Amino acid sequence: MMIRLQTVIIIVLCVVILALAAILFVVYQRPVTQTASAPMKSPAPTQQAPVSAQPPQLSPEVERFLHAPKDPAAMMAEQKMRKDKADRLMALQARFKALSANGKTPDADELDKLLNELIEIQGTSVIAGVDLNVLRQNLRVAQKIQALAKDLEAEGKKPKPDQNRILEITKEIQAEQTHLNTNMMVGGVNPSAGAPMSPPAVNAPNAGATKNGKGQ
């Protein structure tokens, strides 16, 4: 049973790690900064169709807004904000690489902190079509299963284990498993949308025994 529980936890962590790696790659590749050393290129001119009708008349307020001079201080503040955001993303990506270097598996707390900081940086929990809150929820479930597994192991090592307590913990673990969800995408078609993740089943002790006393 403990091997099955460890497999459940590893599956959850691997899914989160792979999703976070992909999201960081997508976010980091986006042009989040436009500094003075790398000015924003203007789009190539496109051929316009001749306009026979008069252009629409704009209100004086709109005209003043369109032709108002750009505030240098505001432009510098915006550039600084974008650079700060890019620096934070770079630092977060470096931390993630350090945590997962050499085949290491970050624990749930470390991954949750990274996800939370990524949400703060981006200002949204939906990034690249993935709902990071679903990943965080799965991490919390994995943490609960891990804690229950420790309780189960401790009870099993007692000279006289309480079978009722073992059964109770097992049912709690099974209940937590139903809260795992693979529907991470937002607005996409997902066959498993709304369906719980399907990790290896955790059976109650002595459950499913056949008539001859052998387990299935």
Q: Provide the residue-wise pLDDT of the chain in tens; the chain has 216 residues.
A: 777 777 878 888 888 888 888 888 888 676 444 433 444 455 555 555 555 555 556 666 666 666 666 678 878 888 888 899 889 999 999 999 898 888 788 888 999 999 999 999 999 999 888 999 999 999 999 999 999 999 999 999 999 999 999 999 999 999 999 998 878 887 644 433 344 444 444 555 544 444 444 444
In 3D space, the residue among 4, 40, 20, 47 whose CA is nearest the CA of residue 152 turns out to be 4
Question: In whole angstroms, what is the distance from residue 146 CA to residue 140 CA?
Answer: 10
Instruction: Collapse the DSSP code of 131 into the 3-class scheme (helix H, G, I; strand E, B; otherwise coil) and give the result.
Output: strand
> What's the pLDDT at 53?
52
For the chain, domain boundaries: 1-32+73-202
> What's the pLDDT at 161?
92
215's CB contacts (< 8 A; 6+ apart) are 206, 208, 209
The number of C-alpha atoms within 13 Å of 34 and in the hemisphere containing its C-beta is 6
Task: For residue 152, give both structure tokens.
Answer: 């189960």
> What's the pLDDT at 5?
77
